[in-house]
């Protein structure tokens, strides 16, 4: 398992945590309490409050919205990237939608669909699908023309060519788009729960801040950061699992066989003497 890339990313958060722990140890500010107090509030709310239920609600919305965006974005991106006429026809529309901020749709979605879990999943899907789709199209276009010509020369069926040739070739770009979509999904999750939800991490932060429970507000904010970072590390593990060939893992170096003691000095068929296996 590729733990080294994960460890290379963990050292900085650990260092920041230690710096904050030391620098806020003697804090008397009402708005910036000590980190130990924030962590205590986080632990207490997870065990005895409703923060754990809020966490599960938000996590489910992110996973469902991101999963739908991945399926739709990859499928549509493969087709658009492969068919040049369709790509040229949809180019202006995709550029327009990409430039439109998804947060602007929050009031409209809440007004038309309500404040349940479905509208939040739809909002996360709506904001996450575009980076995945556009990166998939770019990944398909980046495949060399010789690959397409070879596949057509062997008369590989279109569906099989998409599954075994185009999809693996575009997979690095697809995973890059999913990484971008993940950060967008976390932001949209918080925004949708702040402006129209009785449950969720965004609602927890809103209620804690409105009640001037500063430690609880910081605790919810830290939990959102931990959630986003944990999902990012998990995606990194999946990426290194699927794209070992793309990251060019170095082949294992075979250790040389030890030379036997009885062959350290021997005579070959021509009468030359070998010392430690070398003809002298």
Contact 182, 125 (CB under 8 A): no
The more confidently predicted of residues 256 and 16 is 16
Q: Which of 131, 136, 134, 127 is nearest to 61 (CA)?
A: 127
pLDDT digits (tens, 9 = 90+) for 227-257: 998 998 899 888 888 877 666 654 454 555 5
pLDDT digits (tens, 9 = 90+) for 209-231: 988 899 999 999 999 999 998 99
Q: Is pLDDT above 90 for 12?
A: no
Contact 87, 80 (CB under 8 A): yes
Please state, as a whole number, how many other Cβ atoms lie within 10 Å of the Cβ of residue 58: 26
């Amino acid at each position: 398992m590729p733990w080294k890339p994960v460890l290379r990313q963990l050292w900085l958060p650990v260092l920041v945590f230690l710096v904050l722990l030391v620098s806020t140890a003697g804090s008397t500010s009402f708005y910036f309490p000590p980190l130990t107090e924030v962590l205590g509030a986080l632990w207490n709310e997870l065990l005895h409050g409703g923060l754990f239920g809020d966490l599960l609600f938000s996590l489910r919305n992110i996973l469902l919205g991101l999963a739908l965006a991945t399926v739709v974005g990859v499928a549509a991106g493969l087709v658009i990237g492969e068919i040049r006429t369709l790509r040229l026809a949809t180019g202006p529309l995709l550029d327009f939608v990409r430039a439109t901020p998804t947060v602007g749709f929050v009031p409209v979605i809440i007004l038309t669909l309500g404040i349940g879990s479905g509208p939040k999943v739809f909002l996360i899907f709506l904001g996450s699908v575009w980076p995945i789709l556009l990166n998939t199209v770019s990944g398909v276009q980046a495949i060399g023309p010789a690959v397409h010509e070879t596949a057509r020369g062997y008369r590989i069926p279109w569906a099989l060519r998409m599954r075994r040739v185009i999809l693996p070739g575009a997979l690095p770009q697809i995973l890059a788009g999913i990484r971008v979509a993940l950060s967008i999904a976390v932001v949209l999750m918080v925004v949708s729960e702040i402006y129209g939800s009785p449950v969720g991490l965004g609602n927890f932060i809103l209620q804690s801040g409105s009640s001037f429970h500063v430690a609880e507000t910081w605790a919810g904010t830290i939990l959102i950061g931990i959630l986003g970072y944990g999902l990012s590390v998990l995606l990194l593990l999946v990426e290194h699992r699927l794209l070992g060939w793309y990251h060019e893992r170095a082949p294992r170096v075979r250790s040389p066989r030890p030379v036997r003691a009885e062959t350290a000095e021997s005579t070959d068929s021509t009468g030359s003497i070998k010392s430690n296996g070398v003809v002298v």
